[in-house]
Amino acid sequence: MGWKNLDDMDLGGKCVLVRVDINVPVEDGKVTDDTRIRRVQPTIRDILAAGGRPILLAHFGRPKGKVVPEMSLRPLVPALEAAFGAPVTFCADCRGPAAQAAVDSLAEGAILLLENTRFHAGEEKNNAGLAAEMAELGDIYCNDAFSAAHRAHASTEGLARLLPACAGRLMQAELEALESALGQPQRPVVAVVGGAKVSTKLELLGNLVERVDHLVIGGGMANTFLAAQGIDVGKSLCEHEMTGTAREILVKAETTGCKILLPSDVVVAREFKAGAENETVAADACPADAMILDAGPETVARVAEVMEGAKTLIWNGPMGAFEIAPFDAATNAAAKQAAALTKAGQLITVAGGGDTVAALNQAGAAADFTYISTAGGAFLEWMEGKTLPGVAALTPQA
Ligand code: ADP
Ligand code: MG
């Protein structure tokens, strides 16, 4: 893979600039969900244990290159101290003399948090001057923000090229999991792609048909594929203008030998609400005044069979409108099956996507998955086969 991790670096006594994603929700000055902070803890722990001095760089919100006091990172200090079990000092700039003074006076065993990198316009422009100013503050660069790696910003890309660079523990785990799912996976590989729309996941589908052995298409986007085959999907969510594209994907799958699995039965209802009266019908028998809100039990059984024969599963997008019962049934059943196979050591399971993570949590399956990515956009771009600038910058050129 080419990139280094913390074990490859000599951290003793070094100032380590750590790019983290601590873009957590805050209400009334208090962090309401510290998941992202806790996920950085292993990196901080290991740097401190090796005698290094962690200096945190992070963005927060979208201040668009200006100082916006409401988007200061300062209120996060107590949550960071609680998660890291170490004192955290704060400096109101991420570059320049004040930051340098804060670095120089950083006590051993303590952590320095620098102010929102996006307060400087150069951050999102990947400005070389800003990257150089940040580089002056440290000896080593460690990127632990995979979720920001799809953006070539000064703190994620430019800076990485100016100092000896490595991946942090979270970045490392993410890269290893994704590599095991799509890079050099154990085959057969099955991908489950669902969610609302084909249009948001076109590149994803295009990349997956080239790489996986089975592609399960579920959720609202399956309706577009059904429509592409001349099936009337009634009032279902469907992008009729995308049917040509859907057909192209089906044709491409034939040439690559990727087997596509579309719903053969569906759960339909007249209302998009919890507990709505519903029935299960064949996929080509959606009544004109009804909409498809979930895959049916026969489809779930076919998906289960494909999973049984697979070694690797990658999942993005729920199989149905999982937010409202009972239209979460297919997603829940498939998630539980994947979790059980993972627990039995039969299947490597990697999943990502905001709604997907919520759905897997709701199904009680997330804990048994091999890896759940919380990276959002970066995860999707990786699945689309794109090179992520923040990852590429960690890989030294030949
Ligand atoms: P992710 O955030 O994991 O990438 P998406 O945002 O693409 O996933 O898709 C999730 C959304 O798709 C959910 O809001 C879900 O209700 C919706 N969805 C899934 N199936 C259907 C369907 N048959 N009809 C309407 N919406 C659906
Ligand atoms: Mg979503």
The ligand 1 site (C-beta within 6 Å) comprises 194-196, 219-220, 237, 292-293, 316-318, 320-323, 353-356
User: Which phi and psi (to 5°) does residue 190 adopt?
Assistant: -120, 135
Q: How far, in Å, CA of 309 to CA of 321, rounded? A: 27
Total residues belonging to the chain = 398
| Closest ligand to the CA of 354 | 1
For residue 268, list its beta bridge partners: 279, 292
Secondary structure (3-state) at 351: strand
- Residue 149 — very low, low, confident or very high, per pLDDT cuts 50/70/90? very high
Please say if 169 is a catalytic residue: no
Are the C-beta atoms of 314 and 186 separated by less than 8 Å? Answer: no
Tell me, in angstroms, the distance from the centre of ligand 1 to residue 241's CA.
18
Q: How far, in Å, CA of 311 to CA of 283, rounded? A: 28
Q: Hey, whose CA ends up nearest to atom 21 of ligand 1?
A: 220
Task: Report which ligand 1 atom has the smallest distance to the Cα of 323.
Answer: 16
Please say if 14 is a catalytic residue: no
Task: Report which ligand 1 atom has the smallest distance to the Cα of 236.
Answer: 24
What pLDDT shows up at residue 398? 45
- Residue 376 — very low, low, confident or very high, per pLDDT cuts 50/70/90? confident
The catalytically annotated residue of 36, 39, 169, 201 is 36
Q: How far, in Å, CA of 285 to CA of 264, rounded? A: 10
| Closest ligand to the CA of 201 | 1
Please say if 354 is a catalytic residue: yes
What pLDDT shows up at residue 397? 60
The catalytically annotated residue of 65, 206, 377, 385 is 377
Q: How far, in Å, CA of 91 to CA of 103, rounded? A: 9
What pLDDT shows up at residue 141? 98
Task: Report which of 173, 179, 154 is spatially closest to residue 39, judged by C-alpha positions.
Answer: 173
Q: pLDDT averaged over the chain?
A: 96
Mind listing the pLDDT tens digit for each residue in 231-290? Answer: 999 999 999 999 999 999 999 999 999 999 999 999 999 999 999 999 999 999 999 999
Query: Of the residues 281, 355, 361, which should be mutated to test ligand 1's pocket, given the most ligand atoms within 8 Å of the CB?
Result: 355
CA 157 to mean position of chain CA atoms: 19
Q: How far, in Å, CA of 299 to CA of 317, rounded? A: 16
- Residue 197 — very low, low, confident or very high, per pLDDT cuts 50/70/90? confident
Tell me the average pLDDT across 220-230.
96
The catalytically annotated residue of 197, 252, 311, 336 is 197
Which amino acid, residue 227? A
Q: Hey, whose CA ends up nearest to atom 16 of ligand 1?
A: 321
Provide, rounded to the nearest whole percent, the portion of the chain with pLDDT above 90.
93
Task: Report which ligand 1 atom has the smallest distance to the Cα of 316.
Answer: 3
What pLDDT shows up at residue 198? 86
Q: Hey, whose CA ends up nearest to atom 15 of ligand 1?
A: 321
Q: Hey, whose CA ends up nearest to atom 8 of ligand 1?
A: 317
Q: Whole-model pTM?
A: 0.90
Please say if 343 is a catalytic residue: no
Alpha helix ranges (H) inside 16-74:
35-49
Tell me, in angstroms, the distance from the centre of ligand 1 to residue 388's CA.
25
What pLDDT shows up at residue 2? 85
- Residue 183 — very low, low, confident or very high, per pLDDT cuts 50/70/90? confident
Tell me the average pLDDT across 294-301.
98
Cα angle: 98, vertex 104, 109; to 5 degrees: 120
Neighbouring C-beta atoms of residue 54, cutoff 10 Å: 29
Mind listing the pLDDT tens digit for each residue in 303-355? Answer: 999 999 999 999 999 999 999 999 999 999 999 999 999 999 999 999 999 99
pLDDT at residue 1 greater than cutoff 80: no
Average the pLDDT over each of 133-142, 178-187, 253-262, 316-325 and give the range with the smallest value.
Answer: 178-187
Tell me, in angstroms, the distance from the centre of ligand 2 to residue 378's CA.
13
The catalytically annotated residue of 2, 354, 364, 386 is 354
Task: Report which ligand 1 atom has the smallest distance to the Cα of 294.
Answer: 23
